[in-house]
Structure 1
Amino acid sequence: MARSDHADETDEPTSTATLWRDVEIDPVEIALPSGVGYTLRAYRLSSEVTLSEADPASGSGDDFDAASAEVFASRRRPGADDEAELEPFDEDELTKQALAAGGRKDDDDEDEPAAADDESDEDSDEAEEEEEEDEEEAGAEEVPVFLGRRGKVYLFKSPEGLVDFVKSGAEHDLSQLDSWSDLVERITVDDVEPSEEDRYELDLVVENLRGGHDVWDHTLIIKAGEIARDLGYALRIEPIVNALASGSPLDDLDESMRAANEGGAKAFFARRRLRKHGEQQAALGWRTIIGKISGAVDWRD
């Protein structure tokens, strides 16, 4: 048994796993109606990364700001009502919530002391700046960042194409990460092998939902929600973030599926809740989301 354990520790896949663990970036496989592609995704605090400005031609929202980030961060609100309607995106209210969560004020000038030349005022300014930085960092959320730029995610049809691009020195949102140069030096084609949890079959979602409650693949739909939320935030696609926000019909569907998978009495009631979701309504909502994602893909090689 000891010899077998040692053999497992020296297998080649361990080198690949070590690479992704060291750089804190993961390869992702996304299947869309237009094809299957590979990309990279990382999670970092919102205070540590800056997403490139979306190209207006990409269809991403120009006003995607802290309010949209708050919707993304609060998507797991428990107890969503069974009959919840998709509420309109209330920018004023969501902005207030986001600013409160980040520990900031609506008017930055309120906290600024009157201009003064003496050292005590300068010390006060520095102390307030440090306090604001601490508050912003405390309110920062972990957010997704993809291999892409300006509201587009780059999908590569082969691992070879992905590796060639990584080593090309091209500009993109992941190049700002501290670990990016390490990945550039170490990555090989064999390393581009996404784990099962990082494979998403968006091309099967609509057909599965149309098949009816008895054939719904809960894992398929739940995983689709995870990647769609990540892409919606990272690419600044406000309709996706809003459609999957807490309390929306599709988020309630997601919550019910998660509960149904847990087993026990909770699962029994969750399955009853799932019956209240219309197949065609769910399929239509997901078809729209997948269409938005497809429109934000920049296919490479």
Structure 2
Amino acid sequence: MCAESPDGTDYRRVSSPKHTEVSVARQSPQRPDADEPQLDEATAATESEEAGDTAASSGEADRSLWEELRIDPVEIALPAGSGFTLRAYRPARELTPTDVAERDADDPFLARGREVVEDDDDDDETVVILDEELAEEFAEADEEEKQSARKGDKAEADAEDESEDEDAAADEEVPLFLSHRGRLLLFKTPESLVSFIRSGAPHDMSQLDGWNELSERVEPADIAPLDEDTYELDLVVENLRGGHDTWDPTLLIEAGEAARDLAYALRLPAVLDMLSAGSSLDDLDEALRATVGGGIGGFMGRRRLKKIGAQTASLGWRTIVGKISAVVDWRD
């Protein structure tokens, strides 16, 4: 007989087949494996710090040789290719400039500039004065000019002495590259550069105090220039030709720094003049630096850039890259 509820609903018990449930213990994603030892927070933090210190120390070790000897590997890209070399900065009084006599002798334009032009004595005019009073006036005028000249020479000498004293006190550091007889040595691979360093061949960097130590310790893996020591001079002209909207400030600023260093170290006065203060290319450099700074200065810098002709800038830089390329000695 079936039981009925007060409202007349018939509740029938339905029997279901028996079944066995198997419970599987699931591991929480946040729970560590049972087989792995659990570390407390202090131990984990200590190991993390030690790992970070190890990574940092290994990164510093890669640069320790260069930082100790104050010499840096540099990579320079030119239209003829890309190569590795070395650069150092030292006070000018500690360095002997590279000898460019042989290099300049091979350049007909520079050789022509060194020719001595003798004065033509036939053009000298002899003035004969017959009036004695007029002669005395000329003599007095000459004496006054001599006295004035002596005073001017003394003042100029004093100014030069003061300037020399200031320069000696400052003793500004100047660049020195791996060069020989006025030519930059560029190596196509790190291995060839290291081989040259160990060879004992003559070059301008042998005057550095730490050079012997470098030749004993350097390895090809050490020739890894930083981004700031990598210069793409081969891209400058093409970038400038693209117009103001495509100019790359970082590329052009770094190229200017490299060109100035190379021009000074390799004794290229024409390049130094083209990049000297007040030149059109120096104005370009200052305007680019202003744009990088942002703010009002950046706005003014962009206005200045629009006044600089793209064609003039590209032609100037083509000349600079050409003069630097002409004094490169490529080594395999």
What is the RMSD of the two structures over their aligned residues, measured on CA atoms?
Answer: 2.3
Q: Is the 8 A contact 2:77 2:232 kept in 1?
A: yes
Residue 233 of structure 1: which of 246, 254, 264 is its match? 264
In structure 2, the residue matched to 1:18 is 64
State the SS of the aligned residue for 1:299: strand
Matches within 5 A, 1:176-195: 176-195=207-226
Tell me what 1:150 maps to: 181
Deviation at 1:163, TM superposition (A): 0.2
Structure 1 or 2, whichever has the larger Rg, is 2
Structure possessing the higher relative contact order (Cα contacts under 8 Å, 6 or more residues apart): 1
1:167 partnered with 2:228: no
Contact 1:101 1:139 in 2 (8 A): no
Give the partner amino acid of 2:292: N
Aligned counterpart for 1:216 among listed residues 233, 237, 247 = 247
Amino acid at match of 1:288: T
Cα 1:221/1:58, change in 2 over 3 Å: farther
Any stretches of 5+ residues in structure 1 without a counterpart?
A: 64-95, 105-133
Q: 1:170 to 1:209 in 2, by over 3 A?
A: same
Structure 1 counterpart of 2:53? 6
Gaps of 5+ in 2: 1-47, 114-155
Structure 1 residues 225 and 4 mapped into 2: Cα distance closer, same or farther (>3 Å)? same
- Counterpart of 1:245 in structure 2 is 276
Report what 1:100 is aligned to. 160
1:187, distance to aligned residue in structure 2 (A): 0.3
Give 1:46's match in structure 2, choosing from 92, 96, 119.
92
Mapped to 2, the partners of 1:61 and 1:137 lie a distance apart of 31
- Indicate if the aligned counterparts of 1:43 and 1:145 stay in contact, CA closer than 8 A: yes
Retained in 2: the 8 A contact 1:61–1:238?
no
Secondary structure at the aligned position of 2:98 is classed as coil
CA contact (8 A) 1:27 1:192 kept: yes
Q: Whole-Å Cα distance in 2 between the matches of residues 52 and 210 of structure 1?
A: 34
> For residue 117 of structure 1, what is the aligned residue in structure 2?
none
Q: 1:43 to 1:101 in 2, by over 3 A?
A: farther
Matches of 2:242 and 2:282, distance apart in 1: 20
Within 1, Cα distance between the matches of 2:161 and 2:299?
Answer: 36
Instruction: Give distance in 2, aligned partners of 1:187 and 1:137.
Output: 34
**C-alpha distance in structure 2 between counterparts of 1:273 and 1:181, whole Å:** 48
Give the aligned residue type for 1:49. Answer: L
Task: Write the distance in 1 (CA, Å) between the matches of 2:162 and 2:303.
Answer: 38
State the one-letter code of the partner of 1:37: G
Report the TM-score when normalising by structure 2.
Answer: 0.68
Matches of 1:209 and 1:295 in 2, distance apart?
A: 21
